[in-house]
A and B are shown apart, each in its own frame.
Chain A
């Protein structure tokens, strides 16, 4: 039965020891440890949160940069297209101008040629008629040496003129 009866001496010492141990540990032991662990936990949580935030930010930046790049790409292709169009236009304009100029030149040339031709024709005609008249004079002079000849000539001429009038 003595096992089941508390001993006053033991109770006394246990009470004092436990109280002292409890106060020392409550002041310098457990709170230090638990506070530190909680602090570290907070730090880790915060770090994770920050990492998440940084990741999100990074993703945003990535997105923005992607956007900028794609925009730049679009701009580039647009500029290239426009430049190509411009070039085409310039070339075609130049071609047109050149064509017009050439046609003008050709037309001028044709005009000149025509004028020269006419000139040449006229001068040729004049030359031919003078020559013909000369030749005719010469022939006539030769043929009209005799009276008879002269008379027949006049006759024929008159006939012809009459025929012409009749016809």
Chain B
């Protein structure tokens, strides 16, 4: 019975993916075009697509990097010949002439150059990014490019979604202040989830004064989990795996790094600055080792999350690209590759769902462990805290 249900689920997923795949693929092709000829207007881009199809040669690499990389607009889908996309605002702080804020569509309307800024062409070290010329006529990035890119928009969406989910859960508790009823449905599910993280990660790994750190660790866990899952969705509000971007994991790791060190106890700092080792080794070797250790912990956090999510995301995208590779060979190959691609993607999706949870869990647990290690007390103190 269970097995049968499982089979039905698999079939449903397969159908779902079969339905989604073309949109996904189309997206991919557009992205490729965007990454190559971002400054061109739509009709030019369409012609280019036609040319690309005629040539039947695929630039898989740029497709992939176009997909996992960032962009100043968010392609959602294509209906007929019309691209449905969100054009995002560009915000630049230039040394040359201060702050600029304008829509990205201005580039297309002004044949690729606006306010002295243009998009770096393929081959440049800043390919696809907005650049300007400095005094010597050299292509440089503006001092600050805080444009709302599609990854930024995805961060906002995920943050907003997380706020809605958690605050609506909290709202239920504010409405039942007697503390005698237990929630059902979604709130009950969230409660189970939150308490699982609180009890099994935060309490276990941080130690006696876990209360102070639990909001940060819970926020990190749910932000990462939500972002990972949103990255698995194939269409608009999701589809951008922000945790597969090193900037995002860097910020998360830095938060853990600062919380660990700011709230570190005297004993923790003594362990780094004046460890209990023979006098000959005391300085400066141990300090150097400890200092590097201090930095490698958040670095490992950053790279682990980034690498795992990027690999999964890329893997799924490459499997999708099998269809196009097949299409360059023969129609039969297209059909065969589609079947293979769909089956593999179903498998990958299930795997990635697991990875999404595991990575959120691992990031939170390691953060909790690092924070907990920095909370060590002198022997006398510890006994007091431990009752």
Contact segment of B211-219, B291-299, B322-330, B360-368: B211-219
Q: Which of A3, A6, A13, A22 contacts B250 (CB 8 A)?
A: A6
Chain B proximity of A24: nearest CB distance (Å)? 6
Q: How far is the CA of A2 from the CA of B159 in the complex (A)?
A: 25
B144 within 8 Å of A by Cβ?
yes
A147 within 8 Å of B by Cβ?
no
Chain A residues lying within 8 Å of B177, measured Cβ to Cβ, are 36
CB pair B70 A10 closer than 8 Å: yes
Decide: A9 near B252, CB < 8 A? Known: A14-B247, A22-B219, A40-B179.
no
* A13 to chain B: closest residue by CB: B152
Q: Which of B180, B216, B245 contacts A40 (CB 8 A)?
A: B180
CB pair B152 A9 closer than 8 Å: yes
CB pair B218 A15 closer than 8 Å: no
Chain A proximity of B366: nearest CB distance (Å)? 18
* A22 to chain B: closest residue by CB: B219
Chain B residues lying within 8 Å of A54, measured Cβ to Cβ, are none
Contact segment of A26-34, A80-88, A92-100, A130-138: A26-34
Chain B residues lying within 8 Å of A8, measured Cβ to Cβ, are 144-146
A158 within 8 Å of B by Cβ?
no
Chain A residues lying within 8 Å of B108, measured Cβ to Cβ, are none
Q: How far is the CA of A108 from the CA of B274 in the complex (A)?
A: 130
Which positions in B face A, CB cutoff 8 Å? 65, 68-70, 127, 144-149, 151-152, 155-156, 159, 162-163, 166-167, 169-170, 173-174, 176-177, 179-180, 182, 190-191, 194-195, 198, 214-216, 218-219, 223, 242, 245-248, 250-252, 255, 310
CB pair A37 B195 closer than 8 Å: yes
Q: How far is the CA of A61 from the CA of B252 in the complex (A)?
A: 61
CB pair A21 B163 closer than 8 Å: yes
What are 24 A-to-B residue pairs whose CB atoms are below 8 Å?
A2-B69, A3-B65, A3-B68, A3-B246, A3-B310, A9-B147, A10-B247, A13-B155, A17-B159, A18-B159, A18-B255, A25-B166, A29-B215, A29-B219, A30-B170, A30-B214, A30-B218, A32-B173, A33-B191, A36-B173, A36-B177, A36-B179, A37-B191, A40-B182
Identify the interface centre among A6, A7, A26, A39: most chain B CB within 10 Å of its CB: A7
Chain A residues lying within 8 Å of B176, measured Cβ to Cβ, are 36
Q: Which of A10, A18, A26, A29 contacts B245 (CB 8 A)?
A: A10
CB pair B169 A33 closer than 8 Å: yes
Q: How far is the CA of A21 from the CA of B191 in the complex (A)?
A: 19
Chain B proximity of A8: nearest CB distance (Å)? 6
Chain B residues lying within 8 Å of A34, measured Cβ to Cβ, are 194-195, 198, 214
Using A14-B155, A33-B173 as known contacts, list a sample of 7 further A-B pairs with CB atoms less than 8 Å apart, ordered by residue number in A: A9-B147, A13-B156, A21-B159, A25-B166, A26-B219, A30-B194, A33-B190
Decide: A25 near B152, CB < 8 A? Known: A12-B146, A14-B247, A18-B251.
no
Chain A residues lying within 8 Å of B155, measured Cβ to Cβ, are 10, 13-14, 17
Chain A proximity of B301: nearest CB distance (Å)? 14
A166 within 8 Å of B by Cβ?
no
A20 within 8 Å of B by Cβ?
yes
Chain A proximity of B143: nearest CB distance (Å)? 9
Chain A proximity of B139: nearest CB distance (Å)? 15
The 5 closest A-B pairs by CB, nearest first: A26-B215, A10-B247, A39-B179, A36-B173, A29-B166
Q: How far is the CA of A14 from the CA of B149 in the complex (A)?
A: 12
Residues facing B in A62-116 (CB within 8 A) are none
A139 within 8 Å of B by Cβ?
no
CB pair A18 B247 closer than 8 Å: no
Q: How far is the CA of A37 from the CA of B179 in the complex (A)?
A: 7
CB pair A28 B170 closer than 8 Å: yes
Decide: A11 near B69, CB < 8 A? Known: A25-B219, A29-B170.
no
A4 within 8 Å of B by Cβ?
yes
Q: How far is the CA of A29 from the CA of B166 in the complex (A)?
A: 6
CB pair A32 B170 closer than 8 Å: yes
Q: Which of A5, A14, A32, A36 contacts B251 (CB 8 A)?
A: A14
Chain B residues lying within 8 Å of A14, measured Cβ to Cβ, are 155, 242, 247-248, 251
Chain A residues lying within 8 Å of B310, measured Cβ to Cβ, are 3
Chain A residues lying within 8 Å of B146, measured Cβ to Cβ, are 8-9, 12-13
Chain A residues lying within 8 Å of B223, measured Cβ to Cβ, are 18, 21
CB pair B246 A5 closer than 8 Å: yes
Chain B residues lying within 8 Å of A26, measured Cβ to Cβ, are 215-216, 219
Q: Which of B170, B246, B251 contacts A33 (CB 8 A)?
A: B170
* B146 to chain A: closest residue by CB: A9
1/0 per residue A17-60: CB within 8 Å of B?
11011101110111111101101100100000000000000000
Chain B proximity of A10: nearest CB distance (Å)? 4
Chain B proximity of A39: nearest CB distance (Å)? 4
CB pair B218 A25 closer than 8 Å: yes
Q: How far is the CA of A37 from the CA of B180 in the complex (A)?
A: 10
Chain A residues lying within 8 Å of B252, measured Cβ to Cβ, are 18
Q: How far is the CA of A40 from the CA of B180 in the complex (A)?
A: 6
Q: How far is the CA of A7 from the CA of B142 in the complex (A)?
A: 12
* A8 to chain B: closest residue by CB: B144
Q: Which of A9, A10, A21 contacts B219 (CB 8 A)?
A: A21
